[in-house]
Structure 1
């Protein structure tokens, strides 16, 4: 059981790293940041699948680490 949790945690961590690295980067200029996004799609409308997958994988990794910690120290 512990080996399975370790392997699943490693797979989730690597997939989270890959998902974060393929997300697009945006340069920020704080003086025009508030007005430059007017009329543009919101954060979730561009690359929705990658962002939702990143969110789900990060939540799964968090739950997996909490579960692994509870099983290890109990």
Structure 2
């Protein structure tokens, strides 16, 4: 059981690294953010699938790590 959790943790960690790496980068000027984004698509409208997968994988990894900690606590 623990071996399966370790392998699953490694796979989810690598998947999260890949998903974060392929996220598009954007320059941010915080002084202009409030006015420059008016009329432009919001954060979730560009590359929605990659961003949703990143969110789901990170949540799954978080829950898996919590489960792993509970199971190995003695």
**Where on the TM-score scale, by shorter chain, does this alignment land: which range?**
over 0.9
Give the deviation of 1:51 after TM superposition.
0.3
> C-alpha separation between the residues in 2 aligned to 1:32 and 1:63?
37
TM-score (norm 1): 0.96
TM-score (norm 2): 0.96
**Partner of residue 20, structure 1:** 20
> C-alpha separation between the residues in 2 aligned to 1:32 and 1:58?
30
> C-alpha separation between the residues in 2 aligned to 1:5 and 1:14?
14
Query: Between Structure 1 and Structure 2, how many residues are aligned?
Result: 74
> C-alpha separation between the residues in 2 aligned to 1:63 and 1:42?
28
Q: Deviations over 1:11-67 (max 9, x none)?
A: 000000100010011101122111110100111000000000000000000000000
**Partner of residue 54, structure 1:** 54
- Stretches of 4+ aligned residues off by more than 6 angstroms: none
Q: Which sections of structure 1, spanning at least 5 residues, go unmatched?
A: none
Instruction: State the Cα RMSD in Å.
Output: 0.7
Q: Which sections of structure 2, spanning at least 5 residues, go unmatched?
A: none
